[in-house]
Structure 1
Amino acid sequence: MHWPDIGLLLAAGILGGLTGSIAGLASVATYPALLLAGLPPVAANVTNTVSLVFNGVGSVLGSRPELRGQAAWLLRIVPAAGLGGVAGAVLLLSTPAEGFEKVVPILLGGSAVVILLPRRAAPAHPGRRPSAGLWESAAILAICVYGGYFGAAAGVLLLALLLTTGGNTLAHANAGKNVVLGVANTAAALVFAVAAPVHWLAVIPLGAGCLLGSRLGPVVVRHAPAGPLRVLIGLAGVALAVKLGVDTYR
């Protein structure tokens, strides 16, 4: 790996960490950068997932104020997230990707529209989420399976779900999303570290960039106006859904 590739991956990691911790769109920046650096698709995918572990670390550290009050909910949902990440990693290593990829643009587009819908007033205790019900747990499990499998915009799917089910503010839902996706990515990364062609030299600059960028993302969410930021996330999700749909069905 040459110095221009290292610089490209570091910059892509910073951008991916920032967008990932804000909107769950890290892979939109990081995965193409790995392809440009010369990695084949499967190696790029698994290397990307391993690098995004650092995105989870930075985003959780930056989200600590919004995570207060969510511990009980997270303890109940983290096992589903970890199981989903492992299942997604195993699916990636054992099945073709075509069928799953055809569903992603539809799911992503629907989730982006949900984020764009008008929100009711924020609750009096926005950090306290109700206990995860069966359908919410199943939905999070399914999203984390996708996160471990490929993961592009898995955060948009999860953010839409948390905004719909918990009555959270955007900042609190985003903090919960960062923890859940961080667990799923870490679980998948452990599988890939043992059984997949991870390009470890690429992980170093990309992971370092992700750590730096993701530490800043929750600060942006905390201080930016929630309405315009939610619209920006939703529109980015719609644009990505359209692009993925065109690439998949053309």
Structure 2
Amino acid sequence: MTIFDISLLAMAAFFAGIVNSIAGGGSFLTFPALVFTGVPTIAANATSAVAVFPGYLSGALGFLKELRDFPLRQWLVLLGLSLLGGVLGALLLLITPASVFAAVVPWLLGFATLIFALGYRVSAWAERNIKAEGFTGNFATLLVCIYGGYFNGGLGIVLLALFSALGMRDINLMNGLKNGMSFVLSGASVVTFALAGIVVWPQALLMMVAATIGGYCGAIVARRLSAGVVRAIVVCIGLAMTVVFAAKTL
């Protein structure tokens, strides 16, 4: 890595930690930064997942009270589906040819950006129109977790929409479940990526440290900058990256 690469990756991860702690969407910064510094797209996706992985645990611990009141059996089912979905999504990524993944990336980024931009509206629509219960709810949860293991972008908003469809209304509980499930499925995918040898560890370790620092600073920034402003910035970045990656496929 050059000094420029180190600086770019550290800065991207730092700001990813900040936006993840305020509004989510840090993958829109870490993934493109890795690709820009020469990391192949599949390895960049895996390394990006490693970079933002630790922040999910602290996020879940922040809602520990709500999680303790959640029925243990349902919690274990959700965690089990997260574990399975994370592994399946990671394995799906591993068997995807690099050329195919490169072609799919703009669509994934565009979808994630759209979901992120319409976050609350998506959740409200799911609450009004979808009633996912029993097997249907578990199957939908598994599909979302597979998506998260394959491509992490926009996962938090998709999970919140899913919880609305499952009939949940407590936003603090939903955020706690979102962070806990994201931690488990990301952990499963990270282990899978590591065993497959596609994680670029020097970059991953650098970005993990920077993202952790950014996550801490995010709490300070949150008091001075509205989540709406941060969300607007993330959406603009997501749209720009979608256009850039789409142009590369032409």
Output the TM-score relative to the length of structure 1: 0.74
Q: 1:202 offset after TM fit, Å?
A: 0.7
Q: 1:49 offset after TM fit, Å?
A: 1.5
Question: 1:80/1:207 Cα in 2 relative to 1: closer, same or farther (>3 Å)?
Answer: same
RMSD: 3.7
| Mean CA deviation greater in 161-170 or 100-109 | 100-109
Question: How many angstroms apart in 1 are the aligned matches of 2:189 and 2:211?
Answer: 17
Q: Following superposition of structure 1 onto structure 2, how do residues 9-88 of structure 1 map, counting pairs within 5 Å?
A: 9-70=9-70, 72=72, 73-88=74-89
**1:140-159 residue CA offsets vs partner (Å, 9 max, x unmatched):** 21122111112222222112
Question: 1:37/1:71 Cα in 2 relative to 1: closer, same or farther (>3 Å)?
Answer: farther
| Number of residue equivalences | 236
Q: Following superposition of structure 1 onto structure 2, how do residues 120-135 of structure 1 map, counting pairs within 5 Å?
A: 133-135=134-136
Q: 1:82 offset after TM fit, Å?
A: 0.9
Question: 1:81/1:23 Cα in 2 relative to 1: closer, same or farther (>3 Å)?
Answer: farther
**1:118-142 residue CA offsets vs partner (Å, 9 max, x unmatched):** 96xxxxxxxxxxx973333222211
* Identity across matched positions, percent: 30
Question: How many angstroms apart in 2 are the aligned matches of 1:218 and 1:80?
Answer: 30
Question: How many angstroms apart in 1 are the aligned matches of 2:158 and 2:232?
Answer: 11
Match of 2:127 in 1: none
Q: 1:93 offset after TM fit, Å?
A: 1.0
Match of 1:115 in 2: 120
Q: Is the 1:85–1:149 contact (alpha carbons within 8 Å) kept by the matching residues of 2?
A: yes
Q: Which amino acid aligns with 2:8?
A: L
Q: Which amino acid aligns with 2:34?
A: L
Q: Is the 2:17–2:218 contact (alpha carbons within 8 Å) kept by the matching residues of 1?
A: yes
Question: How many angstroms apart in 2 are the aligned matches of 1:112 and 1:67?
Answer: 27
Question: How many angstroms apart in 2 are the aligned matches of 1:118 and 1:149?
Answer: 22
Match of 2:128 in 1: none
Q: 1:51 offset after TM fit, Å?
A: 1.9
**1:193-221 residue CA offsets vs partner (Å, 9 max, x unmatched):** 01132111111121112223335657988
Output the TM-score relative to the length of structure 2: 0.74
Q: Is the 1:115–1:230 contact (alpha carbons within 8 Å) kept by the matching residues of 2?
A: no
Give the unaligned 5+ runs of structure 1.
120-130
Q: Is the 2:28–2:234 contact (alpha carbons within 8 Å) kept by the matching residues of 1?
A: no
Question: How many angstroms apart in 2 are the aligned matches of 1:160 and 1:81?
Answer: 16
Q: Which amino acid aligns with 2:118?
A: V
Match of 2:181 in 1: 180
| Mean CA deviation greater in 240-249 or 192-201 | 240-249
Q: Which amino acid aligns with 1:155?
A: G
Aligned residue for 1:152, secondary structure, equals coil
Question: 1:216/1:157 Cα in 2 relative to 1: closer, same or farther (>3 Å)?
Answer: farther
| Mean CA deviation greater in 200-209 or 59-68 | 59-68
Q: Is the 2:43–2:199 contact (alpha carbons within 8 Å) kept by the matching residues of 1?
A: yes
Q: Which amino acid aligns with 1:37?
A: T
Give the unaligned 5+ runs of structure 2.
125-131
Question: 1:246/1:69 Cα in 2 relative to 1: closer, same or farther (>3 Å)?
Answer: farther
Aligned residue for 1:44, secondary structure, equals helix
Q: Is the 2:13–2:210 contact (alpha carbons within 8 Å) kept by the matching residues of 1?
A: yes
Question: 1:2/1:200 Cα in 2 relative to 1: closer, same or farther (>3 Å)?
Answer: same
Match of 1:124 in 2: none
Q: 1:54 offset after TM fit, Å?
A: 1.5
